[in-house]
Amino acid sequence: MTRALISQGPIGGDEPAVNVDMATDLAGVELPSPVLTASGCAAAGRELDQFFDVTEIGAIVTKSVMMQPRSGRPTPRMAETPSGMLNSIGLQGPGIDRFIEHDLAWLNERGARTIVSIAGGSVDEYAKLAARLRVARGISAIEVNISCPNVEDRGQVFACNPVSAAQVIQAVKRHSEPRMPIFAKLSPDVTDIVSIAESVVRAGATGVSVINTLLGMVINPDTMRPHLAGVTGGLSGPAIRPVAIRCVWQIRQAFPDLPIIGMGGIRSGLDALEFILAGANAVSVGTVVFHDPSAPMRIHHELQHALADRGFSRLADAVSHAHRPADIAPEVDDALDFISE
């Protein structure tokens, strides 16, 4: 694939053009941009294609699809929060067969790179989804949303248990095309996210997507009852970005070479840069598209300029840059000498 050496200014801006190689490698999948959509915020990308060319970003990460059609949870199922939002959609979707015939077919026809997100209520459902995708064409990778309740284990979320998480990944790996990259989407609602990452990597995950939403809740002061019909929901938006950065950082420290897709409250190129410096090879943009549908393309350009401003000619050189040892300033040296005396 041609390397993504893009030379242009930001949308609507008068700044000079910059030359930065924005290509990134995700487990052998070459992408022209590190900016992806986030699962659940843009369906299969058809709506966003009205605002920018979806073939110009790294990939479309589809809304998580399950075996059967789902109508989702009752309303109300969304709520605004300070610097974020809660959603309790409930994985509404068309089911895998309709998804392949309608959404995946459109993405292939459009020429977009596609990462398919799958979700299930049992290990067997994940296995069946992987088997259906094995014979489908035009898939760059599979993102396994393991932040779903395990209906066979008292509703415990797969991603919160290293054994259950590993079982899902093993099943998906076993039923997928052998060279298909598999990314486990991890939940931050755990004590030690590195231990969950270790379990899915050992089970065969090619990489990880970090992070999914945090579990939250809102009480309506007028009704004095939970605002969401489903009581709890997933918190997304800028409020969770520091948590996401921490998770990416910790996983990168533990796994220097593991492909990581970072996400959580990205609104600008500088937000995306934080994830890249912390160790993400790519970033997914989600909640911001609800009020700025062109955000993925805008963030690509802003990140490009942010990299150029800091002397990077390649995105790849910025990945994990924050982990490099910092030079000790002279005044710090003097202070250490004084203490040693």
Which residues form the catalytic set? 148
Amino acid at 278: A
d(CA 62, CA 10): 26
What is the number of other CB atoms lying within 10 angstroms of the CB of residue 338?
A: 8
d(CA 104, CA 292): 24
**Stretch (H or E) spanning 78:** strand 78-81
Tokens of 56: 């110009």
| CB 27 within 8 Å of CB 207 | yes
Task: Tabulate helix, strand, coil % of the chain (nearest 5).
Answer: 35, 20, 40
- Output the CA–CA distances (angstroms, integers) from residue 67 to 157, 184, 246, 285, in the order listed: 18, 18, 33, 25
| CB 96 within 8 Å of CB 65 | yes
SS3 134: helix
d(CA 339, CA 341): 5
Tokens of 287: 């909640």
Amino acid at 204: G
